[in-house]
Chains A and B, each alone.
Chain A
Amino acid sequence: MNPSPLAGPGTKVLGIETSCDETAAAVVVDAHHVVSSVVSSQVDLHARFGGVVPEIASRAHVELLAPVVAQAMIEAGVDGDVDAVAATVGPGLIGSLLVGVSAAKTLALVWGVPFVGVNHLEAHLYASFLEEPDLPLPVVVLLVSGGHTLLVLMEAHGRYRLLGGTIDDAAGEAFDKVARFLGLGYPGGPAIDRVATQGDPAAIAFPRAIPDEAYDFSFSGLKTAVINHVRKHPEVVTADVAASFQEAVVDVLVTKTLAAAQQHGASGICLAGGVAANSRLRERVLDTCVQHGLHPFLPSPSMCTDNAAMVAAAGWWRLQSDGPTPLDVGASPNLTLTFHP
């Protein structure tokens, strides 16, 4: 790595995140000291549609971003004296991404500081570092959200190996679909998490799908099994269905993540993404790590879901390794993590 003088001790980064339905800004010093982190969720705007509506999300970002950035700066006590501006450039909804990218590049230009385009997936990986700056590598990261299910070996900063992913639905998507079927509302993850606490996770033995590739996941069969079971047994207690479904998802996630960590000699397991806020998944990862002598890195739920502190942290590392991003970049809605062979 060729260290850039642009990021070093004391470097203060303003992060901006608008890739989906959260409008967020944060000020982070040294890639881990979160001075402020403001997240304005649009979840209420999308709830009646049962999912994120891109045009509604884009419009809301335009309204919310300036106040959110202003608040993040006020809370951090900075008035333009940041050292860099980082924003998510992808993956995500193109119209939403552009609102954040356009604002961030302008702020960087006017303040005369570097702009850094950040990969949203990489940002999620950095959530763990916000609370554990000296987290020993390599680690296995389970990144689970509404749009993504990835098992990643993080060997060094910016150096990743993809171990597995979903072959159909993302984990969060499965939660949303099952919650909608059970009439639990949107977003499905928190709804199932809540109801499941009242149910018996062993009530129904839903299938644990194990695809051919060792570290891949599949959730669509499980979703179908839930639907079939409820249709066959209409008298079943919803809380039991929710708890048993959640247990099946968590079981597969934890089993494969542990196997990956052991095979690759990882120091620990990191959770990332919105589904990492699930209380049962956290509990199981914690237990498993303790049992097997691994470090559990469980960012607080507010750092698991989309936020700008993780964007600022990832931006700090990218600035150090790659330097500033040119101001003529746009958004990359289909951006993927760069993996090393």
Chain B
Amino acid sequence: MLILGIDTATPQVSVAIGGHEGVLASTLSARGRQHAESLTPAIEFTCRMARVEFREIGVVAVDLGPGLFTGLRVGVSAAKAMALALGLPMIGVPSLDLLAFPVRFTPKRIVAVVDARRGELFYAFYRQVPGGIQRLSAHQVGTADDLASELLASGEDNLLVGDGALRYREAFEGLHKVEILDEALAYPSASSLVSLAHAQALREQFVKPWELTPVYLRKPDAEANWTTREQS
């Protein structure tokens, strides 16, 4: 079963295709804010490099976020369109899972951290389990200081990964038992997406295109302001 994976939830655009033989081809570009321009040619190129016809694809997987709202929507919209056009099932994987997955071979607790802009971070905690990773917490939104206090309180060895960890490096660097991974692993990749989605596909954990919703972790400003106004 061939899986096409699309990841545009960060400044990067990444597409991969693969299945039980692993990843057959992948592309990655990182010019930022060019998601819609890059994605369609990237899908075309990746499939051509893998010598895969669109009708051979069996599942469309997509990074659900959290991440950059606009980028995320470009990818989710393209993924849904592809699933619709080819009559395929879909698999959505959260971006934080994708960050934790490639660094799973560690006894430490993994902390996946995405830069949420506006001085905030999206983060979650993970641990390696046989065959993959396990999320230990719900997705959280907070400042670097919030996360730093959580890390201190845990008393565990923590491995931080993601662009959020790098952006707020000063907040974490001095902390005891905290290690920060470098740029090479700072963004989720479509290759990880294909691997994680493949495991889910074997368990037939599919959704329909109209059931798939991005993970924003934040209300639109207008709605948040509205709620505040109603309550005051």
Q: Are B78 and A62 touching (Cβ within 8 A)?
A: no
Q: Are A330 and B34 touching (Cβ within 8 A)?
A: yes
Per the bound structure, the CA–CA distance linking A94 and B40 in Å amounts to: 18
Q: Which of B44, B54, B81, B222 contacts A103 (CB 8 A)?
A: B81
What class of interface size applies to chain A in its complex with B?
A: 35 or more
Q: Are B84 and A102 touching (Cβ within 8 A)?
A: no
From A59, A63, A106, name the one whose CB has the most chain B CB atoms within 10 angstroms: A106
Per the bound structure, the CA–CA distance linking A65 and B223 in Å amounts to: 22
Q: B142-150, B177-185, B192-200, B207-215: which one contacts chain A?
A: B207-215
Per the bound structure, the CA–CA distance linking A102 and B73 in Å amounts to: 9
Among residues 79 to 108 in chain B, which have CB atoms less than 8 Å away from a CB atom of chain A? 80-86
User: At the interface, yes or no: A327 with Cβ under 8 Å from chain B?
Assistant: yes
Q: A66-74, A120-128, A276-284: which one contacts chain B?
A: A66-74
Per the bound structure, the CA–CA distance linking A328 and B34 in Å amounts to: 9
User: At the interface, yes or no: A214 with Cβ under 8 Å from chain B?
Assistant: no
User: At the interface, yes or no: A184 with Cβ under 8 Å from chain B?
Assistant: no
Q: Are A53 and B77 touching (Cβ within 8 A)?
A: no
Q: How many A-B residue pairs have CB under 8 A?
A: 113
Task: Please give the distance in Å from B181's CB to the nearest CB on chain A.
Answer: 31
User: At the interface, yes or no: A105 with Cβ under 8 Å from chain B?
Assistant: yes
A103-B36 CB under 8 A given contacts A63-B213, A66-B84, A66-B209 = no
Q: Are A330 and B36 touching (Cβ within 8 A)?
A: yes
User: At the interface, yes or no: B134 with Cβ under 8 Å from chain A?
Assistant: no
Beta-carbon contacts of A308-339 to B below 8 Å, as 1s and 0s?
A: 00000000000000000001111100000000
A69-B81 CB under 8 A given contacts A63-B213, A102-B36, A330-B36 = yes
A109-B40 CB under 8 A given contacts A49-B226, A62-B214 = yes
What class of interface size applies to chain B in its complex with A?
A: 35 or more
Contacts of B23 in A (CB 8 A): none
Q: Which of B69, B70, B85, B210 contacts A107 (CB 8 A)?
A: B85
Q: Are B85 and A53 touching (Cβ within 8 A)?
A: no
Among residues 34 to 78 in chain A, which have CB atoms less than 8 Å away from a CB atom of chain B? 48-49, 53, 55-56, 58-59, 61-63, 65-67, 69-70
User: At the interface, yes or no: B221 with Cβ under 8 Å from chain A?
Assistant: yes
Contacts of B37 in A (CB 8 A): 328-330
Q: Are A58 and B54 touching (Cβ within 8 A)?
A: no
User: At the interface, yes or no: A178 with Cβ under 8 Å from chain B?
Assistant: no
Q: Are B69 and A48 touching (Cβ within 8 A)?
A: no
Per the bound structure, the CA–CA distance linking A329 and B73 in Å amounts to: 16
Q: Which of A53, A61, A80, A102 contacts B78 (CB 8 A)?
A: A102
Contacts of B38 in A (CB 8 A): 328
Q: Are A106 and B78 touching (Cβ within 8 A)?
A: yes
Interface pairs A-B: 3 shortest CB-CB = A55-B220, A103-B81, A106-B81
Give A contacts to B, CB under 8 Å.
Answer: 48-49, 53, 55-56, 58-59, 61-63, 65-67, 69-70, 80, 94-95, 98-107, 109-111, 327-331
